[in-house]
Amino acid sequence: MSKAIDIKVPDIGDFSDVPVIEIFVKPGDTVKAEDPLVSLESDKATMDVPAPCGGVVESIAVKLGDKVSEGSVILLLATGDATAAATATDPAAAPAAPAAAAAATAPAQATASGSIDEAAFALAYAGPAVRKLARELGVDLGKLKGSGDHGRIVRADVEAFAKGGGAAAAPAAGKAAAAPAGGGVGGIDLLPWPKVDFAKFGPTERKELSRIKKISAANLHRNWVVIPHVTTHDEADITELEPFRVQMNKELEKSGVKISMLPFMMKAAVATLKKFPEFNASLDGDALVLKNYWHIGFAADTPNGLMVPVIRDVDRKTVPEIAKEMGELAKLARDGKLKPDQMSGGTFTISSLGGIGGIYFTPIINAPEVAIMGVCKSYWKQHSSDGKTYTSRLALPLSLSWDHRVIDGAAAARFNVHFANVLADLRRMLF
Ligand code: CAO
């Protein structure tokens, strides 16, 4: 039976009274679940509100410039399913994608549009729905001038550009191969993505990427393309720290908090960031914004994909407090219940694969941060300082990726040495 339901603004984190900057639908339009309905823009983020279910738009309750908050009605949607009403107003069922994560909601899959400048595309001022449309039409956002407020690119700009023949055309096969040596700089003139009928070679099944995977893929792709990454590897000697950690876990057994190496690394990160403030910063045009707060994100592996919850004010928390909060945030992440404000405001990230394995890897910087620490599994090794006598030491592999626009190699090496020294002897935190 058909039923009309109010579609409301879902949980949008700390934001309220956010202006509606774009309305993508009109009465009579048919929408599918996840289709963008309106775009909101705060001073910090642009976010689309997606349809929680399919239906036909009956009426629109907002106009451009209206200020909305969580719970504000956006439109009335006629659905064919009465049960949809329950999910329509459930923020968890239809979370708005915050711009930090949704700068490109469309998966950053390589399209046939070989002449799209991915770096310029990533930096263009446009919301997630407009980016998605641009991908679909093969329009290079970097080439557009926006007609929205402050030069924002709106849907109509993309459509007009595509109609005017401005869509990026797929390069003829072999074009890149035939390009003169040294050509394609800036335009990243790549071969089109190979299109293969995999079923020709054996049985296959198609599995759509989860929403989180799509968002993180687009972000990781942008960060990888835009930031000149370098990774510096080192090791921390945790021979003394490990038995201390085990002992503290015994003493805290009754509290129910279990401390892994990660909370110690968070504290070591803060001590090191305080010594090297340009690592606790973000690029803003030609300036560096140094932050006098230390909110540390950690990569959490969840069934739906990678998420980065943030622990605020790590400098003011004890190791057990950090461990407890980390456990709670990791559980929320795994249950798909993290709120946008629990994933924002990070100043530095730690990605630990220590519970799994590996020796080194190259973590991708979590923009707009400028560095990330990757950690792998500790291992015993023989160490000698004179080449004659050897002792067994427990080594923790560290992989620091840094933005070469902001940081140079010497600073990165010093950062790693200090980080490792703090873990080797926590008393160094006092200096
Ligand atoms: N060396 C050796 N052992 C380690 C270790 C290290 N560096 N780090 C953790 N361990 C041990 C822990 O002590 C624990 O041992 P016990 O089971 O004997 O107590 C075990 O490994 C499992 O640890 P954990 O993973 O549960 O805990 P954590 O605090 O280290 O990590 C969390 C928590 C949420 C970060 C983790 O579960 C996770 O999701 N890791 C994956 C992150 C990821 O995917 N990163 C890649 C991002 S880049 O694509």
**pLDDT for position 47:** 81
How far is ligand 1, taken at its centre, from the CA of residue 100, in Å? Answer: 26
Our answer on whether the CB atom of 25 is closer than 6 Å to any ligand 1 atom is no
Q: Is the CB of 238 under 6 A from ligand 1?
A: no
- Rounded to the nearest whole angstrom, what is the distance from the C-alpha of residue 375 to the centroid of ligand 1? 9
Backbone phi, psi, residue 111, to 5°: -100, 180
Q: Read off the pLDDT of each residue in 368-391 and give the average, rounded to a whole number.
A: 97
Residue 147: predicted pLDDT: 85
Pocket test for ligand 1, best of 249, 261, 308 (most atoms within 8 A of CB): 261
Residue 55 to residue 78: CA distance in whole angstroms? 5
Mean pLDDT, residues 211-221: 90
- Segment 294-300 mean pLDDT: 98
Work out the angle at residue 103's Cα, subtended by the Cα atoms of residues 277 and 171, and round it to the nearest 5 degrees.
115
What's the maximum distance between 2 C-alpha atoms anywhere in the chain?
83
Mutate to test the pocket of ligand 1, among 221, 252, 260 (most ligand atoms within 8 A of CB): 260
What distance in angstroms lies between residue 351's CA and the mean position of ligand 1's atoms?
Answer: 9
Residue nearest to atom 1 of ligand 1 (CA): 377
Return the pLDDT at 88: 35
Task: Tell me what pLDDT residue 1 has.
Answer: 64
Question: pTM of the full predicted structure?
Answer: 0.67
Give the pLDDT confidence of 119-148 residue by residue, as tens digits. Answer: 677 778 888 788 888 887 888 888 888 888
What's the pLDDT score for residue 175? 37
**Distance between CA atoms of residues 122 and 133, nearest Å:** 14
Nearest CA to ligand 1 atom 25: 355
Q: At what angle do helices 261-275 and 241-251 cross, to 10 degrees?
A: 120
CA of 425 to the centre of ligand 1 (A): 21
Q: Which tops the pLDDT comparison, 378 or 70? A: 378
Please work out whether the CB of residue 311 comes within 6 Å of at least one atom of ligand 1: no
Range of weakest confidence among 28-37, 246-255, 287-296, 422-431: 28-37
100 neighbors 127 (Cβ within 8 angstroms): no
Find the DSSP H helices in 169-260.
Answer: 175-178, 211-226, 241-251
Q: How far is CA 272 from CA 26, 38, 160, 314, 315, in A?
A: 53, 43, 50, 12, 11
Q: What is the pLDDT of residue 71?
A: 92
Top pLDDT among 257 and 112 is at 257
- Name the pLDDT band for 176 (thresholds 50, 70, 90): very low
Q: What is the DSSP string of 2-68?
A: -EEEEEE----TT--SEEEEEE---TT-EE-TT-EEEEEE-SS-EEEEE-SS-EEEEEE---TT-EE
Contact 298 CB / ligand 1 (< 6 Å):
yes
Residues 6 or more apart in contact with residue 57 via CB below 8 angstroms? 25, 26, 27, 28, 29, 30, 31, 75, 76, 77, 78
- Per DSSP bridges, beta strands 348-352 and 296-298 are parallel
Q: Name the more confident of 407 and 13.
A: 407
What is the residue with the minimal CA distance to atom 32 of ligand 1?
A: 300
- Decide: 348 in ligand 1 pocket, CB within 6 A: no
**Per residue in 71-97, pLDDT tens?**
999 999 999 754 443 333 334 333 333
Query: Mind listing the pLDDT tens digit for each residue in 21-75?
Result: 889 999 999 999 888 899 888 766 678 888 888 999 999 999 998 999 999 999 9
Question: Does ligand 1 have an atom closer than 6 angstroms to the CB of 378?
Answer: yes
Residues 301-317: what's their mean pLDDT? Answer: 95
Q: Is the CB of 355 under 6 A from ligand 1?
A: yes
Mean pLDDT computed over 198-224: 93
Q: What's the 365 CA to ligand 1 centre distance in angstroms?
A: 19
In the prediction, which pLDDT does 231 show? 98
Look at 153 and 353; give whichever has higher pLDDT: 353
Contact 201, 172 (CB under 8 A): no
Contact 217, 107 (CB under 8 A): yes
**Alpha-carbon dihedral 378, 425, 399, 404, rounded to 10 degrees:** 180
Distances in Å between the Cα of 335 and the Cα atoms of 92, 102, 213, 217, 322 are 11, 20, 15, 20, 20
Residue 377 CA, ligand 1 centroid: distance in Å: 8
Q: Which residues contact 272 (CB under 8 A, 6 or more apart)?
A: 279, 415, 418, 419, 422
300 pocket-lining for ligand 1 (C-beta < 6 Å): yes
Q: Is the pLDDT of residue 99 over 80?
A: no
The pLDDT score that the predictor gives to residue 126 is 83
Residues belonging to the active site: 404
Average pLDDT, the chain: 85
Q: Is the CB of 72 under 6 A from ligand 1?
A: no
Give, in order, the Cα–Cα distances in Å from 248 to each of 259, 325, 327, 415, 421. 8, 17, 17, 27, 20
Question: Which atom of ligand 1 is least distant from the CA of 333?
Answer: 34
pLDDT at 252 over 90: yes
pLDDT digits (tens, 9 = 90+) for 357-368: 999 999 999 999
